[in-house]
Amino acid sequence: MASSSLIPANDPTLLFTNAGMNQFKDVFLGFDKRPYTRATTSQKVVRAGGKHNDLENVGYTARHHTFFEMLGNFSFGDYFKEDAIKFAWEFLTSKEWLALPTEKLWVTVYAEDDEAYDIWHKQVGVPAERMIRIGDNKGAKYASDNFWTMGDTGPCGPCTEIFFDHGADIWGGPPGSPEEDGDRYIEIWNNVFMQFNRDESGVLHKLPKPSVDTGMGLERISAVMQHVHSNYEIDLFQALIAEAQKVTGAEDINSPSLKVIADHIRSCAFLVADGALPANDGRGYVLRRIIRRAIRHGYKLGQKGYFFHKLVAKLAELMGDAYPELRQRQSQIEDALKQEEEVFGRTLENGMTLLESALAGGKTVLDGATAFKLADTFGFPIDLTADVCRERNLTVDMEGFEKALEAQRQQSKAAGQFKMAAGLAYEGDASAFHGYTENSRDAKVIALYRGN
Ligand code: ATP
Ligand code: MG
Ligand code: MG
Ligand code: MG
């Protein structure tokens, strides 16, 4: 059966399909029954907005994409913790399957979850020095979080995660340590014990049946299996990066901008294939922002012509067997991307000139009025402007930007032709690096979990 669409069918709480479990949400909640109680899937997902947003990580980490393929196994009231953990270990380490060296695998469990700890430690035999309890109530000191939630509401539960140690020559520390943001210890697989449904007020309700949801990034496990460190070094990405170099004419194959472009062509092409189109609001605006970011990276590499749509053919060649929609809709995808290149191409150069002059003279902060003008007149989404600034270790005066936006809003309202707000919508503080936004380590979660 084909992967579910990236555009969620009936879920207004969800921007894009962000995990393999989305399509099973109602099964976990007990609203939907299937003729099976176990499943395995490979699901296309996009994390570029909403609860799980990795857009700002792309180009900066070895392991994040906006689009990736999530592998998973699921139990709907069938097996639970013990089997899930043993299945995961068997798949990763047994000679018949991936045969990974056990000494490179680290395991985290939810702080309160003694049961999972004991299964890993006593039954599977993972030594205590490679096991870490995460998500205690000492506050959100570091980003790690072992209570997985799909969104602000919906199925959730404590999880146990498996990390691969890529070796001492790479910077980074184990999860829960101050260096956990590094790329030495890379999370390859999350096993979630789905036990609760979080409602709008944040209260957790027990699910009808304890279930299992797991997610493993195909690109991350491919990197491990291909004996490379970064996702961007796997075969598929090397081919896309080489093609991106060809169409941009970039000199340096190692430029982070090529990784960004190789990443973004996947999310953009797959989103268009699933029916999204660039727009000034909602899902279409997220797509527009990703396309424009890719175009700007091409511009940075010296490519002033249209190039982005030219990557679709290579992508279809590489991924079209698994995802026939890429071939079926190739020309629609190319047209949509090219059209966006034409629209943004009209203002990009002038916008960049304005931005460059605003940044000249050793400034550390881009003023809000310029950021607003870039958005309003030149079609620079605020996160794109922030992306340029971040490359130079500068920030954007977001308060000033919002003030200018508000002033425009008032004016347009007065003029009765308010259109811009959606077009300038942005998420959160785009001026700083916030790779990790999920955090559900609140007292309520812990209290309920204890009471379980
Ligand atoms: P990370 O902490 O590295 O950001 P995560 O904890 O947000 O990952 P989960 O929500 O637990 O990830 O998703 C399950 C699995 O999907 C992860 O263990 C990882 O293998 C993979 N994954 C998550 N985000 C990405 C991404 N942006 N790009 C590629 N793979 C990803
Ligand atoms: Mg994580
Ligand atoms: Mg995780
Ligand atoms: Mg993440």
Tell me the C-alpha distance between 217 and 43, whole Å: 10
Whether 24 and 35 have beta carbons less than 8 Å apart is answered as no
Asked whether residue 80 carries a pLDDT value surpassing 70, the answer given is: yes
Asked whether residue 431 carries a pLDDT value surpassing 80, the answer given is: no
pLDDT, residue 114, reads 96
pTM for the predicted model, two decimal places: 0.91
Q: Is 176 in the pocket of ligand 1 (CB under 6 A)?
A: no
Q: Is 151 in the pocket of ligand 1 (CB under 6 A)?
A: no
Looking at the DSSP assignment, which residues form a beta bridge with residue 38? 75
Tell me the C-alpha distance between 41 and 68, whole Å: 13
Asked whether residue 419 carries a pLDDT value surpassing 70, the answer given is: no
If you take atom 21 of ligand 1, which residue's CA is the nearest one? 217
| Residue-wise burial string across 197-223, b where 16 or more C-beta atoms lie within 10 A, e elsewhere | bbeeeeebeebebbbbbbbbbbbbbbb
Say how many Å lie between the CA of residue 144 and the centre of ligand 2: 6
pLDDT, residue 416, reads 66
Q: What is the pLDDT of residues 269-287, one digit of tens each?
A: 999 999 999 999 999 999 9
Asked whether residue 34 carries a pLDDT value surpassing 70, the answer given is: yes
Tell me the C-alpha distance between 170 and 155, whole Å: 35
If you take atom 24 of ligand 1, which residue's CA is the nearest one? 64
Q: What is the pLDDT of residues 184-230, one digit of tens each?
A: 999 999 999 999 999 999 899 999 999 999 999 999 999 999 999 99
pLDDT, residue 276, reads 97
Asked whether residue 436 carries a pLDDT value surpassing 70, the answer given is: no
pLDDT mean over 121-142: 81
Q: What is the pLDDT of residues 244-271, one digit of tens each?
A: 999 999 999 999 999 999 999 999 999 9
Count of CB atoms situated within 10 Å of the CB of 187: 19
Altogether, the residues listed in the chain come to a count of 452
Q: Is 215 in the pocket of ligand 1 (CB under 6 A)?
A: yes
Say how many Å lie between the CA of residue 245 and the centre of ligand 4: 28
pLDDT mean over 371-392: 97
Task: Tell whether ipTM is more than 0.90.
Answer: yes
Asked whether residue 386 carries a pLDDT value surpassing 70, the answer given is: yes
Q: What is the mean pLDDT of the chain?
A: 90
pLDDT, residue 415, reads 76
| Identity of the amino acid at 309 | H
The closest ligand to the CA of 217 turns out to be 1
Q: What is the pLDDT of residues 320-373, one digit of tens each?
A: 999 999 999 999 999 999 999 999 999 999 999 999 999 998 889 999 999 999
- φ and ψ at 364, to 5 degrees? -110, -15
pLDDT > 70 fraction of the chain, expressed in percent and rounded: 90
Tell me the C-alpha distance between 440 and 452, whole Å: 17
pLDDT mean over 434-443: 29
- Tokens 């059209």 found at: 339
Whether 299 and 355 have beta carbons less than 8 Å apart is answered as no
pLDDT, residue 82, reads 98
If you take atom 13 of ligand 1, which residue's CA is the nearest one? 215
Q: Is 147 in the pocket of ligand 1 (CB under 6 A)?
A: no
Asked whether residue 450 carries a pLDDT value surpassing 50, the answer given is: no
